[in-house]
């Protein structure tokens, strides 16, 4: 069935310049991005910068309770290279240090550890930004970009063929594409249609998330308490009028405990958080609603299909330990862009070769994060002396030996292996001359 023969769909799209709504019938593009979350929107910008005509389909959701993302140096370079960082920086706060405190009550506790970004010659390990602000800014920039058409709808069917790909909108109409980037998150339909096998598992944990205003400064240091239920992590946030010191909290607890904590009035929950933090940040008050996210993990047997590649949570899922999720997703995107550089998307063989490269390049990075975080998380959940001893020993060992310590920090911030072009260091640009400034 030729898409050109399809009847006009019910969906329409607003032309960025004229503001006139136009029917979507016969909309065509080089790259169709499915899903307008942080990964999908970032991918749309990256492919537009490569000179591709991009359509992105998804509802822009900016009401995620209490969620922030810590973006490390490679991710900051990615957004700087795309001319997006200036607008994101207005919402972010730097993380100059990471403190880890063993609060498991184990008889083999490791001493508190503090890592400073200057040890690896960086001003900061990265920047922490509210998820909603990130998505809103990326969506606003997409609407302003003439190479990107943002369609606020859902896709209900994908058609992936050697000769071309297309997607049907839930409200009617088809979009023809030469290539599809599947960024619709953990339940990706494109992944299912491509026949990609997934292995999923869950943890007896829920991540409670909330933004906090507090009495004492955080000194740009993120503090991770390792508790029996999982990590309890404060990450610095940008202050605002009336709340100069702010942090986000991610607290992994059992599902039953999550229900109890969510039912507490805000001042009582704040008091429990103060107790768990041993007074680190002084008096605490909640600065927004509390979110609750059941913890699970997922890996896939491959990350590509016919004229299609997975990115972000369509490709991998794990608990928020070490702030790796979106950072890994941006590496997916930067790698994919490199793998398709110079590829004529009208030539299926060229696409296949590009996707073989993507498959090879992502396997190790994704595998390492999914497995590493699984081991670390389980080591907290298992109450067994040998496991406590091994965890404390590993942390002490890595943090005591200078080169290992620095290698560990670098691996978290800019992982080794070939660095994709969008994440390579560039000479600093002044705000005034930065693209998109
Ligand atoms: C508590 C918590 C803390 C975290 N902290 C960090 C951190 O500090 N640093 C970090 O790097 N990562 C962090 N992460 C991970 C990070 O938030 C996620 O990796 C990231 O938000 C996932 O983005 P995504 O775009 O892949 O998926 P999603 O955000 O799930 O986006 C997918 C989008 O696709 C849409 N969609 C679904 N189906 C369709 C369809 N059929 N058609 C169109 N659209 C569709 C969905 O509505 C959604 O908008 C954290 C995660 C959690 C849970």
Please state the pTM of the whole predicted model. Answer: 0.90
What the block records as the tokens of 191 is 């992944």
Ligand 1 in contact with 124 (CB < 6 A)? no
pLDDT value for 418: 81
Cβ-contact 286, 210 below 8 angstroms: yes
Ligand 1 centroid distance, CA of 159 (Å): 24
From residue 74, alpha-carbon distances to 260, 337, 366, 406, 413 in Å are 38, 15, 16, 16, 7
Cβ-contact 196, 180 below 8 angstroms: no
149 and 13 housed in the same domain: yes
Considering its fold, how many domains does the chain have in total?
2
Tokens 């609060």, residue located: 103
312 and 378 housed in the same domain: yes
The domain containing residue 313 runs over which residues? 3-62+132-200+297-382
pLDDT value for 111: 77
CB atoms within 10 A of CB 291: 19
**Is 414 within the bounds of a domain?**
no
Question: By C-alpha distance, which of 251, 243, 241 is closest to 215?
Answer: 243
Ligand 1 centroid distance, CA of 135 (Å): 10
pLDDT value for 373: 87
**Is 418 within the bounds of a domain?**
no
Tokens 């299609």, residue located: 308
End residue of a domain, out of 241, 265, 295: 295
Cβ-contact 394, 49 below 8 angstroms: no
215 and 362 housed in the same domain: no
3-state SS, one letter per residue, for 315-355: CEECCCCCCCHHHHHHHHHHHHHHHCCCCCCCCHHHHHHHH
Computed from CA positions of residues 260, 262, 265, 270, in that sequence, does the dihedral angle turn out positive or negative?
Answer: positive
What atom of ligand 1 comes closest to residue 66's alpha carbon?
1
**Is 388 within the bounds of a domain?**
no
End residue of a domain, out of 239, 267, 295: 295
Cβ-contact 114, 98 below 8 angstroms: yes
146 and 166 housed in the same domain: yes
Q: Residue 269's Cα: distance from chain center in Å? A: 27
Ligand 1 centroid distance, CA of 37 (Å): 6
pLDDT value for 393: 63
Tokens 């030729």, residue located: 2
CATH number of the domain residue 188 falls in: 3.50.50.60
Helix (H) or strand (E) holding 270: helix 266-276
Ligand 1 centroid distance, CA of 193 (Å): 20
**Is 39 within the bounds of a domain?**
yes
What atom of ligand 1 comes closest to residue 189's alpha carbon?
41
What atom of ligand 1 comes closest to residue 39's alpha carbon?
25
Residue located nearest, by CA, to atom 41 of ligand 1: 155
341 and 194 housed in the same domain: yes
Alpha-carbon distance of 284 to 303, in angstroms, equals 43
Ligand 1 in contact with 70 (CB < 6 A)? yes
Computed from CA positions of residues 181, 187, 192, 198, in that sequence, does the dihedral angle turn out positive or negative?
Answer: positive
290 and 301 housed in the same domain: no
Ligand 1 in contact with 57 (CB < 6 A)? yes
**Is 278 within the bounds of a domain?**
yes
Helix (H) or strand (E) holding 305: strand 304-305
**pLDDT tens, the chain, 437 aa long:** 333 333 333 445 544 445 444 545 568 999 999 999 999 999 999 999 999 999 999 999 999 999 999 999 999 999 999 999 999 999 999 999 999 898 877 766 677 888 899 988 889 999 999 999 999 999 999 999 999 999 999 999 999 999 999 999 999 899 999 999 999 999 999 999 999 999 999 999 999 999 999 999 999 999 999 888 888 999 999 999 999 999 999 999 999 999 999 999 999 999 999 999 999 999 999 999 999 999 999 999 999 999 999 999 999 999 998 888 999 999 999 999 999 999 999 999 999 999 999 999 999 899 988 998 888 878 776 665 556 666 666 666 666 666 666 777 777 777 767 889 999 876 544 433 333 32
**Is 104 within the bounds of a domain?**
yes
311 and 177 housed in the same domain: yes
Helix (H) or strand (E) holding 31: strand 27-34
From residue 339, alpha-carbon distances to 39, 75, 88, 357, 421 in Å are 17, 18, 27, 6, 11
311 and 343 housed in the same domain: yes
End residue of a domain, out of 367, 382, 397: 382
190 and 329 housed in the same domain: yes
Ligand 1 centroid distance, CA of 4 (Å): 33
**Is 387 within the bounds of a domain?**
no
Estimate the share of the chain in helix, then strand, then coil, as percent rounded to the nearest 5: 35, 30, 35
Ligand 1 in contact with 294 (CB < 6 A)? no
**Is 312 within the bounds of a domain?**
yes
pLDDT value for 9: 38
286 and 237 housed in the same domain: yes
Computed from CA positions of residues 359, 365, 368, 373, in that sequence, does the dihedral angle turn out positive or negative?
Answer: negative
DSSP state of 6: S
pLDDT value for 16: 47
376 and 285 housed in the same domain: no
Alpha-carbon distance of 300 to 317, in angstroms, equals 10
Give the pairing type, strands 97-102 and 221-227.
Answer: parallel
111 and 76 housed in the same domain: yes
pLDDT value for 397: 61
CATH number of the domain residue 229 falls in: 3.30.9.10
């Amino acid at each position: 069935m030729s898409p050109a023969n399809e009847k006009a769909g019910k969906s329409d799209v607003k032309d960025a310049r004229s503001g006139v709504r136009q029917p979507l019938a016969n909309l065509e593009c080089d790259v169709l991005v499915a899903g307008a979350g942080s990964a999908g929107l970032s991918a749309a910008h990256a492919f537009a910068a490569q000179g591709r005509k991009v359509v992105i389909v998804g509802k822009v959701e900016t009401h995620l309770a209490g969620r922030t993302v810590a973006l490390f140096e490679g991710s900051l370079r990615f957004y700087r290279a795309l001319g997006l960082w200036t607008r994101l920086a207005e919402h972010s706060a730097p993380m100059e240090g990471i403190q880890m405190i063993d609060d498991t009550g184990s008889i083999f506790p490791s001493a508190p550890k503090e890592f400073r970004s200057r040890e690896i010659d960086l001003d900061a390990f990265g920047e922490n930004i509210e998820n909603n602000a990130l998505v809103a800014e990326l969506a606003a920039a997409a609407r302003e970009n003439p190479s990107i058409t943002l369609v606020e709808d859902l896709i209900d069917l994908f058609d992936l063929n050697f000769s071309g790909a297309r997607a049907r909108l839930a409200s009617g109409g088809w979009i023809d594409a030469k290539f599809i980037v599947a960024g619709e998150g953990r339940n990706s339909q494109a992944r299912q249609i491509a026949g990609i096998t997934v292995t999923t598992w869950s943890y007896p944990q829920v991540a409670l998330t909330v933004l906090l205003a507090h009495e004492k400064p955080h000194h740009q240091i993120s503090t991770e308490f390792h508790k029996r239920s999982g990590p309890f992590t404060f990450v610095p946030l940008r202050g605002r009028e009336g709340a100069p010191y702010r942090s986000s909290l991610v607290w992994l607890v059992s599902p039953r405990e999550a229900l109890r904590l969510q039912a507490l009035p805000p001042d009582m929950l704040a008091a429990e958080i103060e107790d768990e933090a041993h007074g680190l940040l002084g008096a605490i008050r909640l600065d927004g609603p509390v979110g609750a996210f059941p913890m699970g993990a997922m890996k896939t047997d491959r990350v590509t299909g016919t004229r299609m590649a997975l990115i972000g949570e369509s490709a991998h899922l794990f608990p928020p330990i070490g702030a790796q999720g979106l950072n890994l997703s941006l590496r997916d995107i930067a790698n994919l862009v490199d793998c398709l550089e110079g590829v004529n998307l009208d030539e299926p063989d060229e696409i296949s070769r590009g996707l073989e490269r993507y498959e090879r390049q992502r396997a190790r990075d994704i595998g390492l994060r999914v497995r590493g975080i699984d081991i670390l998380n389980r080591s907290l959940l298992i109450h067994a002396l040998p496991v406590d001893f091994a965890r404390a020993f590993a942390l002490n060992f890595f943090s005591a030996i200078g080169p290992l310590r620095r290698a560990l920090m670098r691996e978290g911030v800019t992982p080794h292996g070939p660095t994709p072009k969008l994440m390579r260091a560039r000479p600093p640009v002044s705000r005034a001359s930065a693209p998109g400034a």
